[in-house]
């Protein structure tokens, strides 16, 4: 859940020159009670070779599992080159939290609102309605709705309609994927000892462009493809963390990224590393809190096998 604090107004006003109309809109957004947190994430196909699967015997895993980011994997048992293993298809997932702020401080999480109609739509494209999961959480997945597609360079709008009122957030020009060369050794996976950190270098951004945000998530998968609890992420987990992301994003724009060894705590285990290249959007309508955010991007993926 993303929140910001009212002090953000001072930073916004100090950073940019605004018209009276803009200032009024900013004031309205700072006072707004509704908050929307939206994530649009895409992954390319993931090939997991049999040699990469920790503890593999003669069986082939049923690679069906649900990723925290909203992905449902239903993989086959042959790779594109005909080799033994499984391929996770490319997917796009959209997740939204929609709710009402509680109090004025940063300590209380917003209260989720079920029953809203939530859609995501690319500029010039088709709107996709997200499924209501309850407690203010909404989700769509391309495996269930083929109309949900991630396109690089597109602007996306997230819209919530609740009790006859419309709330809108938007993101301009979704980023292209950053290929992380360290994720793709000749073997097709990273072979490391447990508790070993992984350091990788991000490619330079295109000429004339600033580096996008970079988010990491690591989680284990069992031999039959079941996902375990996330062992590491650099995504902020509290209101002050997200305020820092909005105002001081440089921490997520570094060239060299290190995943600590604690992300890989067990030997003879498989882990998936997601590196999401992302941009940050925000509220468009006056009635949506200024701390609302859209994080949209596309991820490169690495498969890790820890030694016994």
Average pLDDT over residues 63-92: 54
Residue 16 pLDDT > 90: no
Q: pLDDT band for position 295 (50/70/90)?
A: confident
- Assess contact for 118 and 138: CB atoms under 8 A: yes
* Span 67-78, average pLDDT: 46
Q: What pLDDT score was predicted for residue 9? A: 33
Check residue 58 and give its pLDDT: 33
**Rounded mean pLDDT, 30-37:** 88
Supply the pLDDT for residue 250: 87
Share of the chain above pLDDT 70, in %: 77
Q: Is the pLDDT of residue 240 over 60?
A: no
Q: What is the mean pLDDT of residues 179-195?
A: 94
Q: Which residues contact 279 (CB under 8 A, 6 or more apart)?
A: 171, 172, 173, 174, 175, 212, 213, 295, 296, 297
- Mean pLDDT, range 86-109, rounded to an integer: 80
Concatenated DSSP letters of 197-256? -EEEEPPPPPTT-PPPEEEEEEEEE-TT--B----EE-S--SHHHHHHHHH-GGGGS-SE
Contacts with 220 (C-beta within 8 Å, 6 or more apart), sequence order: 227, 228, 229, 231, 266, 269, 270, 271, 272
Q: Is residue 50's pLDDT more than 90?
A: no
Backbone CA torsion sign across 261, 39, 223, 229: positive
Does residue 6 surpass a pLDDT of 50?
Answer: no
Q: Would you state the pLDDT for residue 84? A: 62
pLDDT band, residue 203 (cuts 50/70/90): very high
Percentage of the residues of the chain whose pLDDT score is greater than 90 = 49
Domain boundaries, the chain: 8-306
Structural tokens at position 166:
């419309």
CB 41 within 8 A of CB 70: yes
Q: Calculate mean pLDDT across residues 4-23.
A: 40
pLDDT of residue 191: 95
Based on the number of CB atoms within 10 Å of its own CB, is 192 exposed (0-12), middle (13-18) or buried (19 or more)? middle
Separation between Cα atoms, residue 270 and residue 255, nearest integer Å: 26
At a CB cut-off of 8 Å and minimum separation 6, what does 295 contact? 38, 39, 40, 213, 215, 278, 279, 280, 281
- What average pLDDT does the segment 47-66 reach? 53
């Amino acid at each position: 859940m993303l929140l910001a604090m009212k002090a953000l107004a001072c930073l916004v006003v100090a950073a940019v020159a605004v018209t009276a109309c803009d200032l009024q809109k900013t004031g309205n957004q700072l006072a707004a009670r509704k908050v929307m947190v939206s994530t649009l994430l895409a992954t390319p196909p993931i090939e997991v070779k049999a040699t990469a699967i920790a503890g593999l015997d003669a069986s082939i895993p049923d690679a069906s599992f649900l990723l925290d980011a909203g992905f449902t994997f239903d993989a086959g048992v042959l790779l594109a080159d005909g080799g033994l293993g499984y391929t996770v298809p490319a997917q796009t997932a959209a997740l939204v939290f929609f709710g009402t702020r509680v109090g004025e401080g940063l300590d209380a999480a917003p209260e989720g609102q079920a029953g809203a109609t939530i859609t995501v739509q690319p500029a010039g494209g088709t709107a996709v309605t997200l499924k209501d999961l309850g407690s203010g959480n909404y989700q769509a997945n391309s495996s269930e709705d083929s109309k949900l597609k991630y396109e690089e360079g597109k602007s996306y709008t997230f819209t919530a309609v609740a009790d006859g009122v419309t709330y809108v957030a938007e993101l301009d020009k979704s980023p292209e994927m950053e290929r992380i060369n360290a994720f793709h050794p000749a073997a097709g996976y990273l072979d490391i000892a447990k508790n070993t950190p992984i350091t990788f270098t991000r490619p330079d951004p295109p000429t004339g462009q600033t580096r996008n945000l970079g988010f990491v998530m690591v989680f284990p998968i069992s031999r039959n493809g079941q996902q375990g609890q996330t062992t590491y992420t650099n995504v902020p987990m509290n209101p002050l963390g997200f305020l820092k992301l909005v105002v001081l994003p440089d921490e997520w724009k570094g060239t060299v990224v290190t995943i600590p060894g604690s992300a890989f705590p067990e030997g003879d285990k498989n882990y998936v590393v997601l590196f999401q290249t992302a941009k940050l959007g925000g509220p468009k309508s006056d009635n949506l809190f200024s701390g609302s955010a859209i994080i949209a991007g596309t991820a490169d993926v690495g498969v890790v096998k820890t030694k016994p």
